[in-house]
Amino acid sequence: MNKKLKYTAAAIALVAAAIYLNNTNHLASHQTGKPTLLAHRGITQRFDERDLTNDTCTATRMLPSTHQYLENTIDSMRASFAAGADIVELDIHPTTDGEFAVFHDWTLDCRTDGHGATREHSMAYLKKLDIGHGYTADGGKTFPFRGKGIGLMPTLDEVLLAFPQQRLLINVKSRDPSEGEKLVAVLSKLPAERRAQIMVYGGDEPVEIVRSRLPEIRTISRAAIKSCLVSYIGYGWSGVVPKACHNAMVMLPINVAPWLWGWPDRLLNRMKAANSEVFVLGPYRGGGFSSGIDTTEQFARLPQNYSGGIWTNEIEAIAPLAHK
């Protein structure tokens, strides 16, 4: 081997060693403490998740119920925190009378006795609806929550009042920039230290408005998380955290996590230094993110003594595992 090849081989070996040392967890400090648990939609009525589309009415695919809670209600959120959640996720829609309704679906027809787009109604009208109207686990033979959900759709202001200190994740369901402006107006009324306990995710345009106007709030959107993860996979070996990953909620499918440089401890440390939090979801299978870490088997895929965030639809099942 001539000198030129020897020097090239030595340089490659040095670069490889530097990359290894910069990303190995053997030399990384471990963040102690329990994982941060995020309850998606609070405690919910679960449903058959097979072959779902954007138009699937999940209330008609409800599994046999094991509790009385309906998603996105104050009772459900309260029970989620009591079960061990550190953060509760909720969905919002603007109403015609200037409020934000806390409700998951774009339309009312699936879960309620109302009709049409949620945002095309007043909060006064939405308060009259039965949000348990459409739930059935036996193909429509029985409706166990019918008549029990009247008046249970809360406003965002009511949620903020009910939980003045707890952490919340707000999902903006549209890509309407004006919705971002309206949400900024609501959140701007809160003290800065309270806003720091709130995160926002959803449509690119409204989330970007929240991100630019209220930088103390961690945010993420579909475009931002794609940019964050792809860029980090590309050059995160250097220790540089992409701009899209700063001041963010980094959503990370469990089967993608091992591809990220420094997973888990180096990655968690780098994101913390960028004022971001990492939340692990269930496996990514294409077409969008998975639901969450919802089973014992999925929880077992997390690194031992993992201390980052966990996104779950089954807070009652996952909290006891995480808090052992």
Question: What's the whole-number average pLDDT of the chain?
Answer: 92
pLDDT at 308: 96
DSSP E strand boundaries for 77-174: 87-94, 100-102, 167-172
pLDDT at 4: 72
Closest CA to 36 of 278, 308, 320: 308
Q: For residue range 47-57, list pLDDT tens digits in order.
A: 988 888 878 89
Residue 61, both tokens: 């695919």
Model confidence at 201, pLDDT cuts 50, 70, 90, reads: very high
Cβ count near 151 (within 10 Å) = 11
HSE at residue 296, side-chain half, CA atoms within 13 A, is 1
Contact 207, 225 (CB under 8 A): no
- Residue where the block lists tokens 């989330």: 207
Closest CA to 107 of 140, 129, 74: 129
pLDDT at 28: 61
Beta bridge partners of 202: 172, 221
Domain ranges of the chain: 36-216, 218-324
Residue 58 per-residue DSSP state: G
Q: Give the helix ranges, DSSP H, for the chain.
A: 3-23, 74-83, 123-126, 156-162, 177-187, 192-195, 204-213, 222-235, 265-273, 296-300, 315-322
Summarize the confidence of residues 243-258 as an average pLDDT.
96
pLDDT at 169: 98
Q: How far apart are CA 73 and CA 159, in angstroms?
A: 9
Q: Is the pLDDT of residue 12 over 80?
A: no
Q: For residue range 278-294, list pLDDT tens digits in order.
A: 999 999 876 554 589 99
pLDDT at 291: 81
Summarize the confidence of residues 58-63 as an average pLDDT.
95
Instruction: Give the global pTM.
Output: 0.94
Model confidence at 211, pLDDT cuts 50, 70, 90, reads: very high
Is 36-216 a CATH 3.30.43.10 domain? no
Per DSSP, the three-state class of 320 is: helix
Summarize the confidence of residues 208-231 as an average pLDDT.
96
Q: For residue range 20-30, list pLDDT tens digits in order.
A: 556 777 556 77
Contact 120, 108 (CB under 8 A): no
Model confidence at 73, pLDDT cuts 50, 70, 90, reads: very high
